[in-house]
Structures are given as structure tokens and as C-alpha cells.
Amino acid sequence: MSRDIHDSIVEGTYWWGIPTLCGAEHDPEPKNCDIALVGVPHSTGNGTTERDQHLGPRAVRHVSGWLGGRVHMDFGIDPWQAVRVRDVGDVLFPQANNNEHCIEQIMAHYASIDKAGARPVSIGGDHSITGGILKSIAGEGARLTGGEKAGLLHIDAHTDTYDMLDHFLGARRSAAHWGSYLVKEGHVDPTRSVQIGLRGHTRSLDWLQTSYDLGYEVITMERYRAEGAAACCDIIRQRLGDGPVYITFDLDSLDPTVAPAVSNLEPGVNGFTVDEVNQLLRAVRGKKVIGGDVVCLMPTKDQPNNITAMVASSVLFEIISLIADQLNNRR
């Protein structure tokens, strides 16, 4: 039964009630949900250069309540009614300045989510969190992938496969390394993965080579503009195939005019618009999406209307809706 429209409007005001991710009910037990919304307030994987990313989950909880009363018009689904979506809280970081210990904390936290069979959709935090998440929910022994490696839809301005660095300002399982070690350690299948949106002036002319060597399909922003959105969406669908898929979304893939409060901005080349991002995400509709994350929000850089946090919330909603649509159609 659909909710009363007046109740829906009240629940959809972000300033009303106790703030949770997208206004979802708070329940720390992942066994009680189909989609587990998780906050990962972690910053030290970015080598101490953009530390305020740990404030991302709190900022999104502050503004994302407006999505709790929304349906997905393109999919024709109310994700909040179709499946059980719960905010299970945050990963705890008792040694927040110790990146390697934090990654272990992430792994332990997501191992329990994987064991419960819930599909995690997370807000970071810097991009190192993706490494800890996928080490627990993809590959040998993982329930969500059935022991398979995950295919990756990686939307980002950067490759995050910087093997030429043995660490990034002290962080080893860092925001600069996860895209490489997940392949080498058997959690991501690069032959079923796409990195898209890469752009900007870099520190070396061979900055894409590590991704090519690992086996990723690489679609730079220049290639995206040249080949067109429809062709790139076809590449994504074909590349990901029928196996389990994980989506990781770095907010720096968006144009800085759309999302100004992110770490490691690339203002020298236009990034994606929100409509372009939605088209890319919806290209995986019907795929076996096991989870996703949105990373690199810097709330202390945001505008007074919290626009970047609101955009981050919208991307979360798209990923939630993709999973809810798939689970609902499977029943």
C-alpha cells in the first residue's frame, strides 16, 4: 500500500526528524535489510592532503532526508517500499589516523554485512574505503559474489592505480592504490571493469599505463566526448557482462561547478553533468549490482546550501534504486 502523500511530504523534508541516510530507518543489524546504507568517516587514505572527507557521512545524513519520500520515475519504482533499506550506521575507527588499521576495520565491518547477504551502499570518506569494502564482499569466500571477483564500474577523474608509488604520504592501502591491489589480490576482475571520466593534467605522461597493464577498459573524458554517451554506455554494459558488479563513484568525476566541495578537484577540463552521470549509472540497470559507494565529499568546502552533499545524496539514490529495481524484478 502506498504511503499517504502528506506523510510522504513530511518525511521528505530534510530538517524533520532524526537524520539518517536518505531518511531510511536506522537499524544496526544488516540481517534486517536488503540494502545496508553505511557511513565510512575515513580520511587518512588520502595521504593527509584532504582530511575533511571523514565528515562526508554526517553531511549527507544532514541533507539526504528529502530523498526518503521520492520514487524513481525512470524505473517506475518506490525503492523504499520495494525492498528493505536501512541505515546501519558508521564504521568505527578507534585509530582514525592509522590508515592501515582503518582499512582492517572496514574489512571487518563489511564482512558482517556480506555474511548477512545485505548489499551495502556507502558514503565516504576518501577513496581508499573501496579497497576495504571489496576485500570483504568480492572474491573467494564472499557471499554477495558467490566467490566470484566483482566487475567494477569506476567513475572518477583519476585511475587510483598508481603502482609507481609504494605509498601515498604514508598510506599504503590508500586512495591512490586500491584500484591496483584489488585486482592483484583477486577481488576485482579488470576484464569486466570500466574506468570512466579520467581527465586533467597529470604528473606523468604515462599516467594511464598502470590501468592498461592491469587490464581495465579505460574511457577518458576525451574519449567519452569523442565517442558519445550512448556508445560508452554500450561499452559498459558489454564489459560488465552477467557477473556481479560494484559501482564506485568519486565526486571529482563531476564538473566542479556541479560539485565544488570534493577533494582533488580537476578544474582544468570539464567533468560530467548530473544528467550524464545518471545515464552512465542507469546503463547497468538489470545487472547484478552487489553494492556501491560515493566518495571524496569535503563538507567544509561546500556552499551554504550544501549542494555537493545533495548531489552526493542523489548519486546514492541512483545506486539504491538500481539495486532495489533488480531485487524487485527477481522476486
Q: What is the pLDDT of residues 248-265, one digit of tens each?
A: 999 999 999 999 999 989
Question: What confidence category does residue 13 fall into, taking pLDDT thresholds of 50, 70 and 90?
Answer: low
Query: Positive or negative, the Cα torsion across 256, 206, 229, 126?
Result: negative
Q: Rounded to an integer, what distance in angstroms lies between the CA atom of residue 132 and that of residue 114?
A: 13
Share of the chain above pLDDT 90, in %: 81
Label the pairing between strands 194-198 and 119-124.
unpaired
pLDDT confidence of residue 51:
76
pLDDT digits (tens, 9 = 90+) for 27-71: 999 999 999 999 999 998 886 667 799 999 999 999 999 888 799
Most confident stretch, 9-13, 15-19, 131-135, 206-210: 131-135
pLDDT confidence of residue 1:
38
State the average pLDDT for the chain. Answer: 93
pLDDT confidence of residue 166:
78
pLDDT confidence of residue 229:
98
pTM of the model: 0.94
Q: Rounded to an integer, what distance in angstroms lies between the CA atom of residue 269 and that of residue 255?
A: 8
Angle at 139 between CA 287 and CA 293, to 5 degrees: 55
Most confident stretch, 9-18, 63-72, 283-292: 283-292
> Pick the residue with more confidence: 11 or 115?
115
* Nearest 10 degrees: Cα torsion 246, 251, 252, 255: 120
With H, G, I as helix, E, B as strand and everything else as coil, classify residue 270: coil
**CA dist list (Å): 178 to 19, 57, 279:** 31, 21, 25
**2 pLDDT above the threshold of 80:** no
pLDDT confidence of residue 187:
98
**243 pLDDT above the threshold of 60:** yes
Question: What confidence category does residue 170 fall into, taking pLDDT thresholds of 50, 70 and 90?
Answer: confident
**22 pLDDT above the threshold of 90:** yes
Q: Which residues are paired to 171 by β-bridges? A: 168
| CATH T-level topology, domain 5-330 | Arginase; Chain A (3.40.800)
